[in-house]
Amino acid sequence: MKLLVTGGAGYIGSHVVRHLREAGHAVTVYDNLSTGHAWAVGDAELVVADLADSESLWRVLARGFEGVLHFAAHIVVPESVAEPLKYYDNNTRNTLNLLRGCADTGVGYFVFSSTAAVYGIPDTSAVAEDAPLQPINPYGASKMMSERMLMDLGAASRLRYVSLRYFNVAGADPRGRLGQATPDATHLIKVACQAATAQRDGITVFGTDYDTRDGTCERDYIHVEDLAAAHVRALEFLQRGGDSQVLNCGYGHGYSVLEVLDAVKRASGVDFAVTFGGRREGDPPALLANAERIRGTLVWQPQYANLDLIVRHALAWEEKVAAFLATAHPGAHRRFERKHAH
């Protein structure tokens, strides 16, 4: 298929682009490179532009795409609490802009990068797709609004869609070609691996008094490779005539912050510094997936559902980054990107 991938130069989007190219699809990436990297798109076409730029967006969509996969978004929960309008602007308004363009140009399939943050603090330990949507931060609310727009457009047009609600994405390409390349990313496993490879002085645990096994937040961690495979499955499902769906992307089991830190210390052999701070606003105590629907609907079989494996791949990526930075000086992250492109 001829596909447009927004945000395809970012962490998750670039992994999906690689999977799509390996499956034989023609891919155009649309990304403003605010957090993404040009080298990460591989041999896919890259259009550097913003979704708020309607003229550029319409010019690209006018080429005619069978499907759109939409990843472009801000994703940092604490930042969304501090700067809510930034999130409604980029995550919600720009999705509206994209959906309007899709409707005008006859896009048939749409795969949306959503989030478990739409659930807020669920009443059950493993939340299912039909649970109430009650986000507790602007990030989750911005995605919930986008889901609703997509649902309404799907009901009013021929567009069919799959909204994939991610739980906590981590890991890297097992062959070391791609990984989370944003230096100031806030993902727990990446930050811990950066601490283990001396890219950070240590790590802070935010909140130790939650109603969980050890008092720290519990999350359902999903390997980025399994998540990328789910996107390809979702697209193929729609191509075969499948109805619009909302699907959780997780494994159905969770780990606490302290358990994750122990896993990184085991894998690295480094006892990096851990400090303890207060709770962050917008963090639910526990968020785990009921993943039965995605397994049945997409016949999706995860290949990397193991915390130690996720950590090992994430750590290998950070070791690669650290090895390059050790021989460089300020600005080296950008040079790492250029070098890694080859």
Q: Which residue has the tokens 């749409």?
A: 110
pLDDT band at 301 (very low <50, low <70, confident <90, very high): very high
Number of helical (H) and strand (E) elements in the chain, helices listed first = 12, 15
pLDDT digits (tens, 9 = 90+) for 19-42: 999 999 999 999 999 999 999 999
Q: What domains are defined for the chain?
A: 2-171+221-249 (3.40.50.720), 188-218+253-287+304-340 (3.90.25.10)
Instruction: Tell whether the model's pLDDT for residue 244 goes beyond 70.
Output: yes
For residue 239, which amino acid is it?
Q
CA distance 267 to 143: 34
CA distance 72 to 82: 20
Predicted local distance difference test score (pLDDT) of residue 257: 97
pTM of the model: 0.92
pLDDT band at 280 (very low <50, low <70, confident <90, very high): confident
Q: Token pair of 66, please?
A: 């069978």
Tell me what the mean pLDDT of segment 135-162 comes to: 97
Q: What are 255's strand-pairing partners?
A: 219
- Mean pLDDT, the chain, integer: 93
Spell out the long-range contacts of 206-211 with Cβ–Cβ below 8 A and sequence spacing 24 or more: 206/277, 206/278, 206/279, 206/280, 206/283, 207/277, 207/278, 207/279, 207/280, 207/283, 208/276, 209/279, 210/279, 210/285, 210/286, 211/285
Predicted local distance difference test score (pLDDT) of residue 184: 78
CA distance 156 to 104: 13
Instruction: Tell whether the model's pLDDT for residue 72 goes beyond 90.
Output: yes
pLDDT band at 124 (very low <50, low <70, confident <90, very high): confident
pLDDT digits (tens, 9 = 90+) for 316-336: 999 998 887 777 655 555 544
Catalytic residue among 119, 139, 161, 221: 139
pLDDT digits (tens, 9 = 90+) for 176-187: 999 998 877 889
Predicted local distance difference test score (pLDDT) of residue 284: 85
Residues contacting 261, CB < 8 A, separation 6+:
192, 203, 205, 274
Higher pLDDT, 330 or 132: 132
Predicted local distance difference test score (pLDDT) of residue 182: 81
Predicted local distance difference test score (pLDDT) of residue 152: 98
Helices (H), the chain: 11-22, 54-61, 77-82, 84-87, 94-105, 138-156, 188-196, 224-239, 257-268, 292-298, 307-325, 332-340
Using only the alpha carbons of the chain, give its radius of gyration: 19
Predicted local distance difference test score (pLDDT) of residue 326: 76
Comparing CA positions, the residue from 337, 331, 211 lying closest to residue 283 is: 211
Is 139 one of the annotated active-site residues of the chain?
yes
Pairing of strands 160-166, 245-249: parallel
% of the chain residues with pLDDT over 90: 87
Q: Angle formed by the axes of helices 257-268 and 188-196, to 10°?
A: 30
Tell me what the mean pLDDT of segment 42-71 comes to: 97
